[in-house]
Structure formats: structure tokens, C-alpha cells
Amino acid sequence: MECLVRNFRYKRDEIDLVCRDGVVLCFVEVKTRGRRGWHRPAEAVNSTKQRNIIRASRGYLRTIGKPKLTCRYDIVEVQFERGRLVEVHHLPGAFVPKKAWGRARQRTGG
């Protein structure tokens, strides 16, 4: 996977990473947590956060003028314990746009 853009902002929304995985454009949310928490970092990406990422991704697609690319929404979990990195977990296709959130030209890819 090749990182194209870090911290892309569109209006009030942000995407941590925009990457290319072959022919698929990936919008990646990075969540970092300590190991002591009861929940996985990905659980913090709730429906509101997903909508924000999707809005920003649509803005990115408009910016580059290629709205018909195959897109995927990933989460990367980063976990630390006592200040040391203990796990990095990539969740490709962690969520998909819902029709109720507006017309999406994106398609999920795998």
C-alpha cells in the first residue's frame, strides 16, 4: 500500500491517510489506544465518525477530479502498553457508505 496524502482536510472533516492499494483508493482512519482499555481502537469509529470520513473522502475525490475510482474505507488500530508499541492491526474495508448518507460514487473494493 502506498500513502498518497496524510491528514487531508475537507471543510470540518479529516482523513488520516489516503492510500493506494493497487487500483483501489483507500481512506484510512488511524486509531491509537493503550492496551488497558476495554475496547478495541476501531470501536471508536462510530457512525458519526464514519459519516465525517465519507464526507471528507467525497471532497478528496472532487479535488482530484476522479469520482469513479474504486474506494475502500479502512481502519488501522495502533495499541501501546507502557509507552511501547505492542500491536498494529489493519482492518481493510472496515466500513462502507450507507445509502442514507447520500449518493456515493464510491464502490467498495477488496
The whole domain housing 46 covers 2-98
Q: What does the block give as the cell for 45?
A: 469509529
pLDDT score recorded for residue 99: 63
pLDDT digits (tens, 9 = 90+) for 51-74: 999 999 999 999 999 777 899 999
Total domains in the chain come to 1
The CATH number that applies at residue 27 is 3.40.1350.10
CA distance 55 to 15: 10
Whether 72 is covered by a domain: the verdict is yes
Query: Which amino acid, one-letter code, is at 104?
Result: A
Answer whether residue 108 is part of any domain. Answer: no
Three-state DSSP string of 46-90:
CHHHHHHHHHHHHHHHHHHCCCCCEEEEEEEEEEEECCEEEEEEE
110 domain residue, yes or no = no
Give a yes or no: residue 30 inside a domain: yes
pTM value is 0.82
